[in-house]
């Protein structure tokens, strides 16, 4: 039996599109900045410790007065599985004139003092894929993060400060939109303050 009602056809097309979209395009959540009840210097020092001990990633450059830390690039994957692995941490475009051969990323971290003993920590991830065209030309292409790497770093940072029970606030279930982007409720735009288990040193 064929559906002839225009509205029914449009609805079916939309449902089929949602079913066939890759998971990373349906669910993209970049964590909000983390607000912590610790002094600026302690947050700065703990971020360095987290990068060194948990993430195993060196610092490429830093600016203490501005609260900026940029890590070195880490090669994430190379070889025939690059496209699949790259899709776990980003939204890579589908290539029609070449293949992905490598992927790398670095963290761009900012720590801001908002009160005497309160700081805000935000993380962005710069992800690149190495594109090799069928004619042999190669270049690094920036790809959009899906938030997984940012969540891993902020979670490790939070657990080091507040204990193993720390967890980032998650978005509401069932959120989906055509251009995947998490937009919090107005009441959630200012992140809650995480409290340490014991008074800061």
Measured between alpha carbons, how far is 98 from 100 in angstroms, rounded to an integer?
Answer: 7
Measured between alpha carbons, how far is 148 from 125 in angstroms, rounded to an integer?
Answer: 9
| pLDDT band, residue 135 (cuts 50/70/90) | confident
pLDDT at 192 over 60: no
Residues sharing a CB contact under 8 Å with residue 43, sequence separation 6 or more, in sequence order: 36, 111, 119, 121, 161
Residue 130 within a domain? yes
Residue 143 within a domain? yes
Residue 125 within a domain? yes
Measured between alpha carbons, how far is 39 from 1 in angstroms, rounded to an integer?
Answer: 67
For residue 181, the model assigns a pLDDT of: 44
Matching residue, tokens 């720590």: 111
For residue 153, the model assigns a pLDDT of: 97
| pLDDT band, residue 136 (cuts 50/70/90) | confident
Closest to 101 measured CA to CA, from 83, 127, 89: 83
Residue 26 within a domain? no
What kind and span of H or E run contains 132?
strand 118-133
Number of domains in the chain: 1
Residue 57 within a domain? yes
Residue 25 within a domain? no
pLDDT tens track for 144-159: 999 999 999 999 999 9
Higher pLDDT, 174 or 143: 143
Percent of the chain with pLDDT strictly greater than 90: 60
Residues sharing a CB contact under 8 Å with residue 40, sequence separation 6 or more, in sequence order: 67, 111, 113, 119
What is the extent of the structural domain holding 51? 33-168+178-194
pLDDT tens track for 58-107: 999 999 999 999 999 999 999 989 999 999 999 999 899 999 999 999 99
Residue 142 within a domain? yes
Higher pLDDT, 178 or 80: 80
Residue 48 within a domain? yes
């Amino acid at each position: 039996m064929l559906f002839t009602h225009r509205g029914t056809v449009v609805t079916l097309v939309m449902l089929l599109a949602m079913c066939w979209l890759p998971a990373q395009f349906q669910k993209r959540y970049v964590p909000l900045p983390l607000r912590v009840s610790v002094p600026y210097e302690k947050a700065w020092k703990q971020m360095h410790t987290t990068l060194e001990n948990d993430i195993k990633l060196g610092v490429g450059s830093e600016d203490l007065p501005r609260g900026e830390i940029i890590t070195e690039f880490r090669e994430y994957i190379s070889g025939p599985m690059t496209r699949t692995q790259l899709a776990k941490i980003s939204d890579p475009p589908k290539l029609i004139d070449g293949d992905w051969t490598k992927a790398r990323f670095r963290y761009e971290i900012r720590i801001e003092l908002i009160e005497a003993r309160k700081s805000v920590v935000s993380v962005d991830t710069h992800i690149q894929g190495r594109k090799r065209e069928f004619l042999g030309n190669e270049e690094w292409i920036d790809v959009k993060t899906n938030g997984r790497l940012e969540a891993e770093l902020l979670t490790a940072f939070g657990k080091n400060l507040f204990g193993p029970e720390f967890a980032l606030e998650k978005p509401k279930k069932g959120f989906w939109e055509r251009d995947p982007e998490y937009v919090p409720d107005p009441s959630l735009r200012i992140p809650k303050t995480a409290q340490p288990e014991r008074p800061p040193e």
